Amino acid sequence: MTETILLTVPSGPRGAGVVALVLGGLGSRLDLPVDRIDELTLAAATLAPSVRGDELELEAEVLDDRLVLRLGPLEDGTGADATLRRVVDALVDRVTGIRRADHEWLELELVRGVAG
Amino acid sequence: MIAVAERRAHIDLLEAYRATGDRAARDRLVEELMPLVRSLARRYAGRGEPLEDLVQVGAIGLIKAIDRFDLDRGVELSTYAVPTIVGEIRRHFRDRSWGVHVPRRLKELALRVSRLVDDLAAELGRAPTVAELAEAADVEEDDVIEALETARAHTPASLSTPVEASGELTLIDLIGEDEAGYAALERGSVVRTGLEGLEERERRIIVLRFLKGLSQSQIAAELGISQMHVSRLLRRALAAMHGRLDEGDGMPV
């Protein structure tokens, strides 16, 4: 069963806390170890300063064996930033660049059972 | 008021930095003005944040001031830098202020859960799940999630925090040098400026995680600290990096 959660938060400190709580809850449903949930949260926080405007939009999809997080809209070129990608790639199992409403987004995926 | 000779030296260093991009000149200028940063940081000491952390964020403000300073302004650099340094220190407090109001019950649970993460990791050979932590702590899963977030948001320990009773050995001593690793991480990056702006110790923990590929648990084991502590240090290092890259109010990591 797939469950999708949409969230719009300020791209500041208060937003960060909300995102961490939501991802904690979703990671818990998948029975992910806490260090992997932590790294997904860290990946989201790492990308947050690259958000266009003041609001961070998150779309979290909980599948049977994985958690998919789509995050945006991002400044153009965010996904191509070598260091940023290196950091985010290390924190989750898969990172894919996508486009929505003519803006750049990133899709992050954590798979249950894959070592962090 | 600073001495004329000192002011002249500051101008010379600034001109050298502006003309050639000479980082050594900027570093020297930062060094010269660090007593000002320390003096300002001390005003905010005793409010729940380690003085060394306040000095570090104040130094970020100083670098921003140096980069923005216009030699034609007709004011001294030190005068110009004060509001930027103070602003950076205040921003540091503001970013962490929500943690100040965390109820005692939650603080205690955060501490207990942090310890349980390490205890269960040692027992299970992997990081525990929220459900396992909830069972061990005899609380609801939601309480664990909240406690974990509280633990992460808690004031991160400084890398200069002593890790032994004598106080002589600090966390940064354990992390060690890895200039080659840093250079490799930095190569080809469009955020070079951000990484270059990090303190040496902040670069090192980034290298351990993102270049050497050590997991948080492995770094924790190697350094003899908790996984939650590693998590906080990573956030701190990445936040410092963002501080260099973006002067706006980004989400703290």
CB contact under 8 A, A45 and B235: yes
* SS3 category, A115: coil
Query: What pTM did the predictor assign?
Result: 0.60
CB contact under 8 A, A84 and B95: no
Nearest alpha carbon to residue A9 among A61, A51, A43, A42 = A51
Does B157-253 match B102-154 at the fold level?
Answer: yes
Chain A residues within 8 A of B217 when measuring between CB atoms:
35
Chain A residues within 8 A of B210 when measuring between CB atoms:
86-87, 90
**Domain B102-154 = CATH 1.20.1090.10:** no
Three state DSSP letters for chain B: CCCHHHHHHHHHHHHHHHHHCCHHHHHHHHHHHHHHHHHHHHHCCCCCCCHHHHHHHHHHHHHHHHHHCCHHHCCCHHHHHHHHHHHHHHHHHHHHHHHHCCCHHHHHHHHHHHHHHHHHHHHHCCCCEHHHHHHHHCCCHHHHHHHHHHHHHCCCCCCCCECCCCCCCEHHHHHCCCHHHHHHHHCCCCCHHHHHCCCHHHHHHHHHHHHCCCCHHHHHHHHCCCHHHHHHHHHHHHHHHHHHHCCCCCCCC
The string of pLDDT tens digits covering residues B74-97 is 778 888 888 888 888 877 776 554
Residue of B nearest to A22 (CA): B145
Domain presence at residue A116: no
Give the whole-angstrom CA distance, residue B125 versus residue A92.
Answer: 20
Strand partners, B33: none
State the CATH number of the domain containing residue A86: 3.30.565.10
Closest CB from B95, B146, B251 relative to A11: B251
Q: What's domain B4-99's architecture?
A: Up-down Bundle (1.20)
Question: pLDDT tens, position by position, for chain B (253 residues)?
Answer: 557 777 788 888 888 888 887 888 888 889 989 999 999 998 887 766 778 888 888 998 898 888 888 877 777 888 888 888 888 887 777 655 444 456 778 878 888 998 899 889 889 988 899 999 999 999 999 999 999 988 876 544 444 444 333 444 444 444 444 444 444 444 434 334 455 556 655 666 777 887 777 888 777 777 777 788 778 878 877 777 665 544 433 344 4
Tell me the residue type at B75: V
Residue B80, pLDDT score: 85
CB contact under 8 A, B129 and A33: yes
Residue B187, pLDDT score: 43
ipTM (interface predicted TM): 0.85
Chain A residues within 8 A of B209 when measuring between CB atoms:
90
Residue A74, pLDDT score: 94
Nearest alpha carbon to residue B237 among B56, B37, B31, B111 = B56
First to last CA, chain A: 24
Question: pLDDT tens, position by position, for chain A (116 residues)?
Answer: 678 999 999 887 678 888 988 999 999 999 999 989 999 998 998 888 889 988 999 999 999 999 999 999 999 988 888 778 878 888 999 999 999 989 999 999 999 876 54
Tell me the residue type at A41: T
How many of the other CB atoms lie within 10 Å of CB of B164? 10
Closest CB from B185, B186, B250 relative to A49: B250
- What CATH topology corresponds to B157-253? Arc Repressor Mutant, subunit A (1.10.10)
Residue contacts between A and B (CB atoms, under 8 Å): 118
Tokens of residue A24, six digits: 């904690």
| B71 backbone dihedrals φ, ψ, rounded to 5° | -60, -20
Tell me the residue type at B60: I
Residue B173, pLDDT score: 44
What is the largest distance, in Å, between two alpha-carbon atoms of chain A? Answer: 36
Nearest alpha carbon to residue A63 among A26, A96, A94 = A26
What is the span of the domain harbouring residue A79? 3-111
Nearest alpha carbon to residue A16 among A70, A78, A58, A76 = A58
The b/e string for A63-82 (b: 16+ C-beta within 10 A; e otherwise) is eeebbbbbbbbbeeebbebe
In what side-by-side order are the strands of the sheet with A66-74?
A3-10, A55-62, A66-74, A103-111, A94-100
Number of domains in chain A: 1
Angle at B96 between CA B65 and CA A35, to 5 degrees: 115
The string of pLDDT tens digits covering residues A9-21 is 988 767 888 898 8
Residue of B nearest to A81 (CA): B190
Residue of A nearest to B116 (CA): A34
In chain B, where are the structural domains located?
Answer: 4-99, 102-154, 157-253
Closest CB from A12, A25, A77 relative to B251: A12
Domain presence at residue A34: yes
Chain A residues within 8 A of B142 when measuring between CB atoms:
25
Residues of A with CB under 8 A from a CB of B: 11-17, 19-21, 24-25, 27-28, 31-39, 41-42, 45-46, 48-49, 56, 77, 81-84, 86-87, 90, 116
Chain A residues within 8 A of B152 when measuring between CB atoms:
20, 38, 41
Residue B185, pLDDT score: 44
Domain presence at residue A40: yes
Place of tokens 């354990």: B174
Residue B129, pLDDT score: 94
Query: Best residue in B96, B109, B124, B130 to probe A by mutation, most A CBs within 10 Å?
Result: B130
Give the whole-angstrom CA distance, residue B120 versus residue B128.
Answer: 6
